[in-house]
Amino acid sequence: MASSSSLSRLSNLRRHLDPSKTSDNNKGVGLIKVSPEVSEALSNGGPVVALESTIISHGMPYPKNLETAKEVEAIVRGKGAVPATIAILDGIPCVGLSVVELERLANLGTQAQKTARRDIAHVVASKGNGATTVSATMLIASMVGISVFVTGGIGGVHRHGENTMDISSDLTELGRTPVAVISAGVKSILDIPRTLEYLETQGVCVAAYKTNEFPAFFTRTSGCKVPCRVDTAEECARLIDANMKLGLGTGILIAVPIPQEHEASGSLIDSDKNITGNAETPFLLARVNELTGGASLSSNIALVKNNALVGAEIAVALSHLSD
């Protein structure tokens, strides 16, 4: 017999997929296309890991982007979870992409619009193609009931952000959307202390995995301590479970340091500080890749794969809590 928690999930998913049964908090989910694999996993209370799509379209060149996307999904499956890459195709938000859809997105590359929360309505209304950033991926994942999301790194407060107000929407999304984000921290080109201060203001629990220090994407350390340390996937799952049961309504950021053998030079990565807005991440990744002779691309791929491994283990542990 199905447990009460499994039945609750099934009821929630039915509401997600039937616009006539959605609450005010779930309006719009009837517009979302959920793949059969993801839908079945959610209905059965199985582990699902959301994956963003901007890294495919804007994070690396073709065909490396397609190869990496497939490998990341394989890592998630290898740990017993279901990958749910999220993107908007022909105006339809999609949760879980087929191989054909992944190939299409990879080929589109930067022709797909980089889509944050603010852009979703426009991309849908214009029947466009959108590669979702952290904020958009979190929102869509939450709408269909996915609690764990893996990405490379999140945005943050830009340097001199106290004057420019250049603050990533990733941070405000973490403050209002109850999804756990597994990332390698934020890039050292950003203002990490102010980023952490802003997350505190938003009420976001920031935890570091197997370390007391917040990682800085390409580097394992930033000089900033975290208020919460978690050492196992089970500890992460209990943290997420408590956050959901308390109904806090905020996300959780679990920062996973890049594997030591792929760590890069922080001083080199800090070399370009004058790019702002949503052009910053693609520019930074391309520029650093150029300066390092391609080594940073390998590091970027390595940290994403490592995050996928950790995130899948967390999703599996979280599903066991509800058995």
Give residue 10's pLDDT.
42
Give residue 166's pLDDT.
86
Domain membership flag for residue 9: no
Domain membership flag for residue 19: no
Domain membership flag for residue 147: yes
Rounded to whole angstroms, how far apart are CA atoms 116 and 138?
A: 10
Q: How many domains does the chain have?
A: 1
Give residue 130's pLDDT.
98
Active site residues: 52, 187
The pLDDT tens digits of the residues spanning 4-14 come to 333 344 444 54
Closest CA to 102 of 72, 135, 137: 72
Q: Calculate the CA dihedral of residues 171, 174, 180, 183 and round it to 10 degrees.
A: 0
Domain membership flag for residue 6: no
Domain membership flag for residue 105: yes
Compute the Cα dihedral for 262, 280, 294, 311 and give only its sign.
positive
φ/ψ bin of 90: left (φ > 0), alpha (ψ from -120 to 50), beta (otherwise): left
Look up the CATH number of the domain holding residue 185: 3.40.1790.10
The pLDDT tens digits of the residues spanning 184-229 come to 999 878 999 999 999 999 999 999 999 999 999 989 999 999 999 9
Give residue 267's pLDDT.
45
What is the chain's mean pLDDT, rounded?
87
Domain membership flag for residue 21: no
The pLDDT tens digits of the residues spanning 276-289 come to 555 555 555 566 55
Side-chain-side CA neighbours of residue 220 (13 Å)? 12
Domain membership flag for residue 270: yes
Rounded to whole angstroms, how far apart are CA atoms 141 and 29?
A: 10
Domain membership flag for residue 131: yes
Low-confidence ranges of the chain (pLDDT < 70): 1-27, 264-295, 323
The answer to whether 9 touches 321, Cβ cutoff 8 Å, is: no
Which domain, by its residues, includes 200?
30-321
Give residue 266's pLDDT.
47
